[in-house]
């Protein structure tokens, strides 16, 4: 097992597993706006610049794509499969097709690569290759690739790069130190297999947690000036390259978990004030060093961090002392309000994009050592149905999350509402997500559904954790939008209104000239093909070609969709992704 696998494979567990200890958070409903979906994405242009795109597809129109069969409520069995080719549509942000790191297959076609995860909180750019593994692997400093290596890979793979910068306050001082040495602190529950001199910070009983050590045992302080110097160096390298590669800087990673993931140097819980102060200090340094960069934050790990600080969590979400001390305003709403006030007062904008993470919380959908491969999770039919329904937490106001959350999450509309009400003009990104079962066809279909929802609901950027591996189904699901034919065939630049009945989804895109369309059709059934009869409303097309993926290492094969009389007809196999090219 390589160091990288040791370090990064457990991060998914930390990212979503933190919620297992949090209980149900009350008072989480966000105020409803008329139509938060009708705000276009922040799009990164080919030259690296950015623009706020217009929106055409409202939340109501987007919901006409019925998607996975609901557990309860209305089933839209009679909704036709149809595409509105007369619509100019709205722009699709290419950077929703992003992944973590830059180690995936080039043919995947990822448009953006995120340098992020728990270890980036402790990365020392001045040393170049010094990191700390934190709670994920025995709190030890290690040597891994530098950011320059990552950027070289990202440039080779194509697309843009997003860099997570440390703002927590401490980074690795070398590549050898550890926070809980056995020689100094005595026997511990576990020690690192490759470094038996370093423990996990728990006594042999596995229950008694050792006090946090002196941070300087492993770390040195990192300041806004340090980060500003790093950003300036990256900007200079881009200028020398002749094009912008790094388009975005992300303000650290999952601050709600700092006091657990990085308890050796940050044992105190994150508070409202700490998050704001560090956002302003480090964001200002980034803006000064690279005025045109996109700045994203706060990279919240999941549900309760959208509404509460870690101090609230640790002292009881019903007590919520930190939130009450800040007007009883939910954390992200307060965060946006204060950053808007800061910009109005100083003229300095330190946040362009609101960034949160989401992982399914329902039992067995995701988790370590499952049958599903990367992202984990079980793959029996019942779990796959839950997996599909869980994607509804991205958008459906009527879907109650089938987990301890037990509330409607409707993540994208919810976050766009928060932005519209508290700091208008910000984009929204999903910095990490994964619906599990990467190695099973159902996991691939779930990923394809998520990508379609990102497009139709106007998400600005999104990054799969970590990256779909060839030849797993999730890999082919990603390629459905980025390289379905192996020759660069992709979901096009504008998404247009479409509809589909329950149990299916249909996403439709067109080029700027309206001469070519690419559709992605999904069948969520485990055992029943769907007889698709797709009405092409106003589509002046004369030829159709289809590509089908229903499992297997070979990827997409030729489909049997037939064009005639303004319609497309053909079968969508069970657990399948069908791409249709029209021109």
Domain assignment of residue 195, yes or no: no
What is the tally of structural domains in the chain? Answer: 2
Same-domain status, 63 and 140: no
Q: Are residues 344 and 405 in the same domain?
A: yes
Same domain, 333 and 465: yes
Whether residues 512 and 483 fall in one domain: no
Whole-prediction pTM value? Answer: 0.94
Helix (H, G, I), strand (E, B) or coil at 162: strand
Q: Give the residue among 440, 356, 442 at the shortest CA–CA distance from 393.
A: 356
Q: Are residues 434 and 362 in the same domain?
A: yes
The rounded distance, in Å, linking the Cα atoms of 24 and 27 is 10
Residue 573's CATH number: 2.60.40.1180
Residue 38: the pLDDT is 55
Task: Calculate the average pLDDT of the chain.
Answer: 93
Residue with tokens 């937490």: 393
* Gap between the Cα atoms of 203 and 186, Å rounded: 8
420-467 confidence digits (pLDDT tens): 999 999 999 999 999 999 999 999 999 999 999 999 999 999 999 999
Binned at pLDDT 50, 70 and 90, residue 12 comes out as very low
Residue that terminates a domain, selected from 469, 488, 507: 488
Q: What is the pLDDT of residues 185-228, one digit of tens each?
A: 999 999 999 999 999 999 999 999 999 999 999 999 999 999 99
**1 pLDDT band (50/70/90 cuts)?**
very low
The phi-psi region of residue 566 (left if phi > 0; otherwise alpha if psi is between -120 and 50; otherwise beta) is left
Residues 146 and 277 in one domain: yes
In terms of domains, do 344 and 330 share one?
yes
Instruction: Kindly tell me if the per-residue pLDDT of 29 is higher than 90.
Output: no
Does any domain span residue 129? Answer: yes
Per the CB < 8 A criterion, the answer to whether 461 and 96 are in contact is: yes
CA angle 85, 89, 94 (to 5 degrees): 120
Q: Give the 3-state secondary structure of 518-576.
A: EEEEEECCCCCCEEEEEEEECCCCCCEEEEEECCCCCCCEECCCEEECCEEEEEECCCE
In a shared domain, residues 507 and 577: yes
Same domain assignment for residues 19 and 138: yes
CA angle (122, 125, 129) in 5-degree steps? 80
Structural domain contains residue 200: no
DSSP β-bridge partners for residue 558: 547
Tell whether 273 and 377 lie within a shared domain.
yes
Answer whether residue 203 is part of any domain. Answer: no
- Assigned domain for 204 exists: no
- CA dist 333 and 252 (Å) reads 19
Q: Residue 350 falls within a domain, yes or no?
A: yes
Same domain, 447 and 564: no
Q: pLDDT digits over 263-287, tens only?
A: 999 999 999 999 999 999 999 999 9
574, 564: one domain: yes
* pLDDT surpasses 90 at 14: no
> What is the average per-residue pLDDT within 483-502?
98
Last residue of a domain, one of 471, 488, 505: 488
Range of the domain at 558: 54-92+492-583
Q: Which of these, 330, 321, 279, lies nearest to 303 by C-alpha position? A: 330
- Last residue of one domain, picked from the residues 445, 467, 488: 488
In a domain, 420, yes or no: yes
> Is 144 part of a structural domain of the chain?
yes
Strands, sheet with 494-496, edge to edge from the N-terminal-most edge strand:
90-91, 494-496, 504-510, 517-523, 576-582, 544-549, 557-558
CATH number at residue 31: 3.20.20.80
């Amino acid at each position: 097992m390589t160091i990288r696998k040791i370090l990064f494979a457990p991060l998914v567990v930390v990212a979503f597993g933190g919620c297992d200890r949090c209980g149900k958070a009350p008072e989480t409903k966000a105020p409803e706006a008329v139509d938060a979906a009708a705000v276009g994405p922040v799009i990164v242009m080919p030259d690296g610049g950015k623009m706020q795109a217009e929106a055409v597809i409202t939340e109501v129109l987007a919901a006409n794509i019925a998607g996975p069969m609901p557990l309860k409520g209305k089933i839209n069995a009679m909704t036709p499969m149809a595409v509105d080719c007369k619509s100019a549509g709205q722009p699709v942000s290419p950077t929703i097709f992003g992944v973590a790191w830059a180690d995936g297959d080039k043919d995947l076609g990822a448009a953006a690569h995120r340098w992020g995860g728990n270890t980036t909180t402790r990365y020392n750019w001045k040393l170049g290759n010094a990191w700390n593994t934190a709670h994920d692997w025995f709190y030890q400093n290690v040597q891994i690739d530098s950011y320059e290596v990552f950027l070289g890979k990202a440039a080779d793979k194509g697309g843009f790069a997003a860099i997570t910068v440390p703002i927590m306050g401490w980074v690795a001082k070398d590549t050898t130190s550890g926070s809980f040495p056995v020689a100094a602190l005595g026997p511990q529950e576990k020690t690192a297999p490759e470094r038996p001199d370093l423990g996990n910070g728990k006594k042999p009983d596995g229950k008694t947690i050792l006090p946090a050590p002196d941070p300087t045992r492993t770390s040195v302080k990192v300041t806004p000036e340090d980060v500003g110097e790093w950003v300036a160096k990256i900007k200079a390298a881009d200028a020398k390259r002749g094009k912008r590669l790094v388009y975005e800087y992300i303000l650290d990673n999952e601050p709600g978990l700092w006091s657990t993931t990085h308890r050796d140097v940050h044992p105190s819980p994150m508070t409202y004030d700490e998050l704001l102060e560090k956002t302003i200090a480090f964001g200002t340094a980034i803006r000064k060093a690279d005025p045109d960069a996109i700045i994203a934050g706060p990279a919240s790990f999941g549900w309760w961090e959208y509404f509460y600080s870690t101090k609230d969590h640790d002292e009881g979400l019903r007590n919520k002392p930190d939130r009450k001390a800040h007007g009883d305003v939910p954390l992200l709403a307060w965060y946006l309000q204060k950053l808007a006030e800061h910009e109005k007062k100083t003229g300095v904008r330190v946040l362009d994009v609101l960034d949160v993470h989401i992982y399914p919380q329902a039992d067995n959908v995701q988790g370590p050592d499952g049958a599903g491969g990367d992202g984990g999770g079980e793959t029996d039919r019942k779990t796959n149905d839950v997996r599909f329904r869980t994607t509804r937490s991205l958008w459906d106001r009527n879907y109650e999350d089938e987990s301890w959350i037990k509330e409607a999450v409707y993540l994208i509309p919810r976050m766009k509402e928060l932005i519209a009400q508290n700091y208008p003009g910000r984009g929204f990104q999903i910095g990490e997500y994964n619906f599990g079962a990467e190695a099973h066809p159902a996991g691939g279909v779930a990923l394809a559904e998520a990508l379609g929802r990102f497009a139709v609901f106007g998400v600005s950027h999104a990054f799969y954790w970590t990256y779909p591996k060839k030849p797993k189904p999730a890999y082919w699901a990603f390629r459905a939008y980025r390289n379905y034919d192996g020759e660069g065939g992709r979901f096009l630049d504008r998404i247009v209104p479409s509809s589909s009945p329950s149990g299916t989804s249909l996403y439709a895109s067109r080029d700027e000239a309206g001469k070519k369309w690419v559709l992605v059709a999904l069948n969520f059934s485990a055992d029943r093909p769907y007889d698709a009869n797709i009405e092409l409303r106003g589509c002046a097309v004369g030829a159709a070609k289809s590509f089908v993926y229903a499992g297997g290492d070979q990827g997409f094969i030729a489909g049997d969709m037939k064009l005639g009389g303004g319609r497309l007809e053909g079968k969508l196999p069970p657990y399948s992704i069908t791409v249709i090219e029209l021109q």
